[in-house]
Amino acid sequence: MSEIDFSSLPKHVAIIMDGNGRWAKKRSLPRILGHKQGVRTVKEIVKASSSLGIRVLTLYAFSTENWKRPQSEIKGLFSLLLQFLKKELREIHKNNVRLRILGDISKFPDKIQKELLSACELTGNNTGLEFNIALNYGARQEILRAFEKMAQEGIKDFTEEKFSEFLYTRGQPDPDLLIRTSGEMRISNFLLWQIAYCEIYITEKFWPDFNENDLKEAIIEYQKRERRFGAL
């Protein structure tokens, strides 16, 4: 088996965590238990990314379209998010991980907003892995928001660099590697601007079954790709 070349790690890995529901269904369990198991994978992947030395990890946790799900499932996801913050924040902070929220959390319950903001504040000066959680995130919303902010500031300098400063990912490199679990071949409104030249890796594994080794495998596969960026 080949090994990871640490001199050419992807700077930014973005993951569409998919398949929690199907993982549960396969076991005749309620969907929420799939999400619960998915949180364990989140912990493992954050830890692994941090120790591998990846600069940015973005996890797609809740899309602007996920409000279409039953209220009971949405509530269950919120409660798992709260538990995750309560249980894992200390460890995250200890590991020098810096948390950032991508998305508009103003529609989330007050308690969660508070916890999220204080988690970002607590970890704000950390210098290790930048861990982005995409929550009520939609790339189209992000792009419109950027236009709106530029208009408010009266900016007419429409360059790619300037525009990028108004996205949630400001200051961060674009993803080099996009992973989607559970075999779906779609983007689902994720980071549309930022993934212009991203390498895509799809695995059939459901998110709750994804682990550190699978992440390493994806990175090894990424390192075999020839990135041309339009040149020869």
Decide if residue 102 touches ligand IPE (CB under 6 A): no
CB-based closest residue to ligand IPE = 21
Q: Please, is 130 exposed, middle or buried when counting C-beta atoms within 10 Å of its C-beta (0-12, 13-18, 19+)? A: buried
- Which residues are within 8 A (CB) of 80 and not within 5 positions of it... i.e. 6 or more apart? 32, 35, 36, 39
Least distance to ligand IPE, CB of residue 154, Å = 34
Decide if residue 21 touches ligand IPE (CB under 6 A): yes
Least distance to ligand IPE, CB of residue 184, Å = 6
Decide if residue 18 touches ligand IPE (CB under 6 A): yes
Taking the C-alpha atoms of residue 22 and residue 139, their distance in angstroms, rounded to an integer, is 25
Closest by Cα among 78, 84, 104 to 40: 84
Cβ distance to Mg ion smaller for residue 18 or 214: 18
Closest by Cα among 174, 178, 172 to 222: 178
Residue choice 10, 18, 92, 191 for contact with Mg ion (CB under 5 A): 18
Closest by Cα among 78, 126, 133, 124 to 102: 133
Least distance to Mg ion, CB of residue 19, Å = 6
Least distance to ligand IPE, CB of residue 192, Å = 13
Residue with structure tokens 């940015």?
Answer: 56
Cβ distance to ligand IPE smaller for residue 9 or 191: 191
Told to judge if 66 belongs to the known catalytic residues of this protein, a careful annotator would answer: yes
What are the φ/ψ torsions at residue 145 (nearest 5 degrees)? -60, -40
Residue choice 39, 54, 60, 108 for contact with ligand IPE (CB under 6 A): 60
Question: Considering CB under 5 A, how many residues would be counted as binding Mg ion?
Answer: 1
Contact 98, 127 (CB under 8 A): yes
Decide if residue 88 touches Mg ion (CB under 5 A): no
Decide if residue 121 touches ligand IPE (CB under 6 A): no
Residue with structure tokens 């050419």?
Answer: 8
83-91, Cβ contacts within 8 angstroms, sequence gap of 24 or more = 83/39, 84/39, 84/42, 85/112, 85/115, 85/116, 85/119, 86/115, 88/43, 89/119, 89/122, 89/123
Decide if residue 20 touches ligand IPE (CB under 6 A): yes
Least distance to ligand IPE, CB of residue 22, Å = 3
Catalytic one of 20, 66, 125, 176: 66
Decide if residue 142 touches ligand IPE (CB under 6 A): no
Q: Which amino acid is at 144?
A: L
Residues in the site for Mg ion, rule: CB under 5 A?
18
Catalytic residues: 18, 66
Residues in the site for ligand IPE, rule: CB under 6 A?
16-22, 60-63, 66, 77, 182, 184, 186, 188, 207
